[in-house]
Amino acid sequence: MVDVDRLTADDQIVLLADDRWPQDVGLLALLDGASLVGDDGQVVLDAVRAWIETRLDAVPRLRQVLWVPTRVVGRPVWVDDAQFDLRHHVRTATVAPPGDEAQLLATVERLRRCTLDRSRPLWELWLLAGLPEDRVGLFARVHHVACDGLAGITTFGSLLSTVAPTTGRPWEPSPPPTRRELMTDNLRRTADLLRRTATPAMHPARTARRARAAWPPIHDLFTGEPGPQTSLNRLVGTGRTFALARAELDLVYGTARAHHATINDVLLTAVAGGVRELLRQRGEPAHDLILPIYVPVSLREDRHAEQTGNRLSQIVLPLHLDAAAPGTKLEQIAADTRRRKAMPHPPLGSVFRGRLLGHAMLRLVAGKRVNLTSADLVGPPTPLSLGDAPLLEMFPLLNLIGNVTLGVSAISYRGQLNMMAVGDADTYPDLDVFALGFRRELHALTQPVTAASSGEAAR
């Protein structure tokens, strides 16, 4: 039997959303680029491509294209791209003078606005010259349908791993499945679905218990109390604006441990401080506001194993913007997070299976007043490099959807916790104000922490 690599129900929802809101996830990194730049100041691209080429066997998805057959033979399928050409995916650009952080982020936005070509594998990696101190920027992005944020980190980590690849035969694309094979696979999957659907009917009491347990998080996501009306509430447009923040991982972990919290709780507390400062500067009352925020929950059992596709659910947390002491606010957020994470979290694709239900879910998302999302990612366990160029720091880039006009993500790497805020450009022309409030709140949280509180970060 031919193994047909189809989109899952969760992947299908991502693809539906892409028609309106581009669903790319990405990574911005800085490299020590002394070995990457030639005498003319430009990146030696042939050497970079040769390095990437040796590591593609570890991530087969990066040589595959999404093929959408007719509906009678089932969901879209991943197939090898017989015309795969690395030159379409690994390219270079130059950051405008003076090559500072603002110009770097402007270059990332210019590249991000170009839609990924669905006729090719859905990823690209840009090397960005023009930075000071022999630095080279790296902007990598992949379509969310190919992998979620955690899987994306694993994917790009494989390309930048210092571990030598296993030498094998030259890559040869496998032929796509035939129409007969697709129809046979679709019939088998349909029969499996009908069998799984029929099984709960044989155990009504157990099924009812599971449904009652799964209802609270689904209710919170789609029919729970909406957030207040603020200037943050509007549909996401096409433009983005970015801001970066950095912290020492040991200090953040020490803060979390001292308050029986997690690093993600610390991140959420800092987000509350940033939003409070932003609304205050806009002249909007913020001290009594409670804003809901989406927080993804990974359903993957192994964070570092090779992964593709999407295995996520979501929870909604109340973010209190009052000016309480940061430590008190952190403990409140930690308690809310523990309570909601203890609930069962079914994959969204299992609840909203099929195109009609998927579109219905997207309409619910677009109609809800939830304007914030935040994610904390566990970074690579070992340092990465591109050839002889060490990767110095990295920042994850979230996608936006519906009314979610601000996303803040963090990743741990080399003793750092690096954060990137991405905002809808029309909603956040003043994202720097949010970033200032975010950094102040994070500073206030972590300053009392001593070196004795340090340790490996817990999520």
- What totals of helices (H) and strands (E) does the chain contain, helices first? 12, 14
How far apart CA 390 and CA 384 sit, in angstroms, is 6
- SS3 labels along 123-166: EEEEEEECCCCCEEEEEEEEECCCECHHHHHHHHHHHCCCCCCC
Residue 169 or 365, more confident: 169
The one-letter code for the residue type at 442 is L
Distance, CA of 58 to CA of 156 (rounded, Å): 10
Give the pTM. 0.87
Structural domain boundaries in the chain: 9-165, 212-453
Confidence at residue 343, expressed as pLDDT on a 0 to 100 scale = 76
Collapse the DSSP code of 253 into the 3-class scheme (helix H, G, I; strand E, B; otherwise coil) and give the result: helix
For position 366, what pLDDT does the model report? 63
Q: What is the largest CA-CA distance in the chain?
A: 73
Query: Is residue 352 over pLDDT 70?
Result: no
- Whether the bond between 344 and the residue before it is cis, its omega within 30 degrees of 0, is no
Average pLDDT over residues 198-222: 53
254-268, 331-345, 364-378 — most confident range: 254-268
Determine which helix (DSSP H) or strand (DSSP E) holds 296, and give its type and residue range.
Answer: strand 290-298
Most confident of 182-191, 215-224, 374-383: 374-383
Please check the confidence at residue 219 and state whether its pLDDT lies above 50.
yes
Q: Is residue 208 helix, strand or coil?
A: helix
Q: Which residues pair with 92 in a beta bridge?
A: 127
The pLDDT of residue 285: 87
How many alpha carbons lie under 13 Å from residue 290 in its C-beta half-sphere?
9
- Residue-wise pLDDT for 60-105, tens only, equals 999 999 998 877 788 899 999 999 999 999 999 999 999 999 999 9
Residue 131: predicted pLDDT: 95
Structural Rg of the chain based on CA atoms: 23
Q: Does 168 score more than 60 pLDDT?
A: yes
Mean pLDDT of the chain: 85
pLDDT in the model for residue 217: 53
Q: What is the pLDDT of residue 412?
A: 95
Query: HSE on the CB side for 393, CA within 13 Å?
Result: 15
**Other residues' Cβ atoms within 10 Å of the Cβ of residue 305:** 9
Establish how many alpha carbons lie within 13 A of residue 163's alpha carbon, considering only the half-sphere containing its beta carbon: 10
Q: Which of 37, 307, 311 is nearest to 157 (CA)?
A: 307
Of 191-195, 214-218, 400-404, 412-416, the one with minimum mean pLDDT is: 214-218
pLDDT value of position 224: 61
% residues pLDDT > 70 (the chain): 81
pLDDT digits (tens, 9 = 90+) for 112-138: 999 999 999 999 999 999 999 999 999
Q: What is the CATH number of domain 212-453?
A: 3.30.559.30
d(CA 132, CA 134): 6
Per residue in 241-276, pLDDT tens? Answer: 999 999 999 999 999 999 999 999 999 999 999 999
Encode pLDDT of 19-48 as tens digits.
788 889 999 999 999 999 988 888 999 999
pLDDT attached to residue 453: 44
Mean pLDDT of all residues in 322-340: 90
Which DSSP symbol is given to 454? -
The full length of the chain comes to: 459
Task: Write down the pLDDT at residue 326.
Answer: 86
* DSSP β-ladder status, 240-248 and 389-397: unpaired
CA distance 74 to 372: 35
Q: Architecture of 9-165 per CATH? A: 2-Layer Sandwich (3.30)
9-165 against 212-453: fold identical: yes
Q: Give just the sign of the alpha carbon dihedral 162, 165, 171, 177.
A: negative
Residue 399 has pLDDT above 60, yes or no: yes
Q: Who contacts 124 (Cβ-Cβ below 8 Å, separation ≥6)?
A: 88, 89, 90, 91, 116, 140, 141
Q: Range with the lowest mean pLDDT among 56-60, 294-298, 431-435?
A: 294-298
Q: Which of 79, 12, 89, 11 is nearest to 49 (CA)?
A: 89
* Torsion 102-105-109-111 (CA) sign: positive
Tokens coding 61: 């998805």
More confident residue, 256 or 165: 256
Q: What is the pLDDT of residue 273?
A: 95
